[in-house]
Amino acid sequence: MQATPPRLDIFVDNISVTYSNARLALYNATCTVEPGAITALVGPNGCGKSTLFKSIMGFLQPSQGQVRVGGFPVQKAQKRQLMAYVPQSDEVDWNFPVSVFDVVMMGRYGYMNVLRIPAPKDRRRVMESLERVDMADFRHRQIGELSGGQKKRAFLARALAQEGKVILLDEPFTGVDVKTEKRIIDLLMQLRDEGHTILVSTHDLASISTFCDRTILLNRTVLASGATADTFTADNLEMTFGGLPVGRVRQISQRPKQPSHQTEVDA
């Protein structure tokens, strides 16, 4: 294995995704996720956040466009254990007969031999990850026997155990209490300071400006992206959540930063 570059960006180049029901879930999405920063992916329900995540992770094949992670194609980046993914809660079978410990250990498979017999180092990493999210005491629980916040933390621990430089979290704050949200945010900020590239999808608008360095606004395509201070404006939010014709959207996203927070768009 070659030495991996310390910082990895994600480059999404003109991606379009059509599901089998012939619906265009995402079209011409282009954006860059900067390394060493927390980026928020913001948009209303059904706007394609999970679809963009799945395209970045290579779980689905876009009908056009490509994704590069640190310059690598996605599959190559994954073979090198560069990319960790924390799924949205409704994508997990919570009745599956596995314990929290088993799940976190699944983050280590890429480092093990074919038989996936854990080495002492793997066990150590798993325990460290569990401790880091404060879940060590729950490691023998079946995954369905956890609260919403504990479930999130268990899967976050799996991402930590995988030691990926790039971490994608799909709606990590949904169904989580304020205290857990704060704890997850603190952890994400620590990870950022360690040089990880972090992409978080969320529709909790209130907390974004408190911890996200950058913001990508999405509604079936990338409407705006950049530093949170520039991107996270009332105008842009109105555009993202209000649903405007595409022509007007382009115009707005290319306009320089607006000092006024007044909404002048009328949908």
Ligand X SMILES: Nc1ncnc2c1ncn2[C@@H]1O[C@H](COP(=O)(O)OP(=O)(O)O)[C@@H](O)[C@H]1O
Binding site for another protein (CB under 8 A): 20-22, 54, 57-59, 75, 78-81, 83-85, 87, 91-93, 96-99, 102, 106-107, 109-110, 114-116, 142, 144-145, 158, 162
- Verify binding: residue 25, ligand X, rule CB under 6 A: yes
Q: Which of 85, 86, 103 is nearest to 94 (CA)?
A: 103
19/96 with CB nearer ligand X: 19
State how far the Cα of 105 lies from the Cα of 127, in Å rounded to an integer: 9
Q: Is the Cβ–Cβ distance between 217 and 237 less than 8 Å?
A: yes
Enumerate residues 41-100 that contact ligand X by CB under 6 A.
43, 45-51
Partner interacting with residue 46 (select from another protein, Mg ion, ligand X, none; CB below 5-8 Å by kind): ligand X
**Shortest distance (Å) from residue 161 CB to another protein:** 11
For helices 178-193 and 148-162, angle between their N-to-C axes, nearest 10 degrees = 10
Q: Which of 250, 267, 216 is nearest to 43 (CA)?
A: 216
Count other C-beta atoms under 10 Å from residue 25's C-beta: 21
Could you tell me the two tokens for 52?
């963009």
**Shortest distance (Å) from residue 128 CB to another protein:** 18
Task: Give the 3-state secondary structure of residue 142.
Answer: strand
**Shortest distance (Å) from residue 5 CB to ligand X:** 29
191/217 with CB nearer ligand X: 217
- Verify binding: residue 23, ligand X, rule CB under 6 A: yes
- Verify binding: residue 50, Mg ion, rule CB under 5 A: yes
**Shortest distance (Å) from residue 173 CB to ligand X:** 14
∠181-125-156 over CA atoms, to 5°?
Answer: 20
Partner interacting with residue 59 (select from Mg ion, another protein, ligand X, none; CB below 5-8 Å by kind): another protein
Is the backbone of residue 164 left (phi > 0), alpha (psi -120 to 50) or beta?
A: beta
State how far the Cα of 114 lies from the Cα of 116, in Å rounded to an integer: 5
**Residues in touch with Mg ion (CB under 5 A):** 49-50
Binding site for ligand X (CB under 6 A): 19, 21, 23, 25, 43, 45-51
